[in-house]
Structure 1
Amino acid sequence: MSSFRRPQTIRTRLPGSRKRGRWKEGEPDQDKTILASVQPAKTGDYDQLQANPEGRRVRAAVRIYTSEVLDVAGQDWTNGDRLVWGAGPVEGEYLLVGVAPWQSGVIPHYRYLAVLLATSEMH
């Protein structure tokens, strides 16, 4: 699996906080480069994402395979690392919204699910 991994840019954020009862996203932190394989999400991934109570419309999603530990967005899709992807059918920033560890002992890695952010959400 590692031979399929390529350098990918991950945009990190500082921790967010509540101010007067409202969530304020953390400010952008330094980008980092990881080795990962990025693939389009499968139909079942989209079915799972559409069921989220936030009511967001998912235009595009990808799966990210890597041995790096990344921050996944909270239940309401706040704070969380973002993949800056310039390939595939839709380029842009993808927010990590789910993770599945695959620690089999052969090739341990994580499978992340990330959704494309709207231009207005990329601050």
Structure 2
Amino acid sequence: MVDIAVIMGSESDRAIANRVTNVLENTDYSFEVKVISAHRNPDELDEYVNASDATVFITIAGLSAALPGVVASKTKKPVVGVPVGAKLGGLDALLSIAQMPPGVPVATVGIDNGANAAHLAIRILEAAR
């Protein structure tokens, strides 16, 4: 079993994922990191989310930033979105992640703030104890 699943849409998001894992490595929580694009690998993403026993998903996405919303549409588990500052200073990704439709909630942290995503996931897990 893994406590936290970290999914990035592209290998280019690795630096942000490293900010997440740097925090998680100092905890007793288990985690895994995957690269699965919501656009290029929708079937793989669907299979992974549905099969995952993770309690919390951290999703890292830039540009259209569809990944957090797609994951949230496939699970009732908490999803934390990390917008990546790829274009427009990351504001496009931030707004895409924050403006989810009713019934598809995604918690959103600051642009490129993988560390806060990890801290939020830890708080969610701690609250569930």
Quickly name the TM-score band, shorter chain normalised: under 0.3
Greater relative contact order (Cα 8 A, min sep 6): structure 1 or 2? 2
Larger proportion of strand: 1
Could you state the TM-score of these two structures normalised by the residue count of structure 2? 0.26
Could you state the TM-score of these two structures normalised by the residue count of structure 1? 0.27
Larger proportion of helix: 2
